[in-house]
Chains A and B, each alone.
Chain A
Amino acid sequence: QSALTQPASVSGSPGQSITISCSGTSSDVGGYNYVSWYQQYPGKAPKLMIYDVTNRPSGVSNRFSGSRSGNTASLTISGLQAEDEADYYCSSYTSSSTLVFGGGTKLTVL
């Protein structure tokens, strides 16, 4: 199972909005509602930010939102803040009853 495709890096200025894409196939991202997004700071465990494509866990800022179009999912962060600088990973259930992650995107807040 190949990893989902994410941009290696994205950047934005405080207050701006950015979107991180996550491209897969109809056998994963496009075929199931089990798409999630995680935030990870260096040396720390990942944190769940979005699950089931669009749902936000309790306690996660509403500046974070998820969406999907076809085989590509997206994470949008609005009102960018310095604390948002981190690595972001998408994941999806697959038709092989496995889970696949994206390669990760490093977000830089300028």
Chain B
Amino acid sequence: EVQLVESGGGLVKPGGSLRLSCAASGFTFSSYTMHWVRQAPGKGLEWVSSISSSVTYIFYADSLKGRFTISRDNAKNSLYLQMNSLRAEDTAVYYCARDGPAIVGPGRWYFDLWGRGTLVTVSS
């Protein structure tokens, strides 16, 4: 089955760190750009970061200001998001999402496969 499964969410104190993981299956993970998208409770979608298939292109939302780091392990079919210096406003469901099929370049900038998300709560 083609799917993405996120894990690693939970409750963390302000200033703390968390590492999210996304396990891909059912498709050739190494051929796709991947993204993280988040959604605060009751709010809209917010793009967080993207990483191209061969890690040539990595982009982040300006608002993150260097606190988050995206990475991937194509041998393990896994995507990661290292989140440091967490703030209350980082509280959200974090989705892993697959970019559209692309032969070259940073991606197609649309998301044709989503995971169910993992909830990150930043609170003291």
Contact = CB atoms under 8 A, between A and B. Distances in A.
Contacts of B116: 45
Q: Which size class do A's interface residues fall under?
A: 20 to 34
Contact of A98 (B61, B111, B117): B61
Nearest to A101: B45
Contacts of B50: 99
Contact of B47 (A52, A100, A103): A100
Contacts of A93: 109
B44 A48 contact: no
Interface residues of B, number: 23
Contact of B109 (A34, A38, A45, A47): A34
B27 interface: no
Given A1-B62, A45-B117, A98-B61, A104 B45 contact: yes
Given A1-B62, A97-B59, A48 B47 contact: no
26 contacts: A1-B61, A36-B109, A36-B110, A36-B111, A38-B45, A45-B95, A45-B114, A45-B115, A46-B37, A46-B111, A48-B111, A48-B112, A51-B108, A51-B110, A51-B112, A52-B108, A91-B110, A93-B109, A97-B106, A98-B59, A98-B61, A100-B47, A101-B44, A101-B46, A101-B47, A102-B44
Given A32-B109, A103-B44, 4 more contacts: A1-B61, A36-B110, A51-B110, A98-B60
